[in-house]
Structure 1
């Protein structure tokens, strides 16, 4: 006896509501022809992943930074047309960007 049958036994008059499929659309960013450069550095002994070469609008730039930080669960910032993510997440970032339609180029290591 599964959960649905148990609920029907407890509440025989209840008609279940149809649940709409509320899939979230993937955010749309301005896509560019040039690849985004993904590189790894150490700053003050701590690893950082830097994304350079995104030349979209400021609002898209901020939205992309926020979505990357949320996806990875780490801190970061955007400065002077580059996105700085705390930690070495090159593989995950490149997969995320490719899923959203960007072309990505890995630099170093």
Structure 2
């Protein structure tokens, strides 16, 4: 291989066009390092603003969710199914399912946008959903 065919590895060559060259920070608020450090450590006593306190607690009414007990298609096993979530994504559903599994001491999963918990755990699931700001409704059997 000739010397002209080799690719230089010294880092001296430019990439050509930098896609970030046209970006600027014009119109953005300057970063406040003191605020960033305080936010990472959490608010101290007496320093919490009303907006920070409001966002820390869950909303009072996040919508109705249905809690059903199902046995069909599961080999006779009972499963508690929570459905009807509006406005929350998969990560929050997985976090709720994790809390429910820990509180009930059983298995469960998030499948097709619904939370499935093994066994008849409707009361425990309703308590956890109420604490999260949802309005649980027992539906079906």
State the TM-score bracket (shorter-chain normalisation). 0.5 to 0.7
Tell me what 2:68 maps to: 39
For structure 1, the 5+ residue unaligned runs are 1-26
Offset from partner CA, 1:61-93 (integer Å, 9 cap, x none):
111111111111100111110011000011111
Query: CA, structure 1 residues 31+76, in 2 after alignment: closer, same or farther (shift >3 Å)?
Result: farther
Matches within 5 A, 1:68-87: 68-87=100-119
Match of 2:19 in 1: none
Q: After TM superposition, what 4+ stretches of structure 1 lie above 2 angstroms from structure 2?
A: 27-34
Task: Please identify which structure carries the higher strand content.
Answer: 1
| Greater RCO, 1 or 2 (C-alpha within 8 Å, sep 6+) | 1
Deviation at residue 29 of structure 1 after TM alignment:
6.1
- What count of residue pairs does the alignment treat as equivalent? 83
8 Å contact kept, 1:30–1:57: no
Matched ranges for 1:7-86 at <5 A: 33-42=62-71, 43-55=74-86, 56-86=88-118
Correspondence for 1:5:
none
Q: Post-superposition shift, 1:96?
A: 1.9
The TM-score with structure 2 as length reference comes to: 0.53
Structure 2 unaligned regions, length at least 5: 1-55
Task: Check whether the contact 1:29–1:64 (CA below 8 A) recurs between aligned residues.
Answer: no
Hey, what does 2:18 align to over in structure 1? none
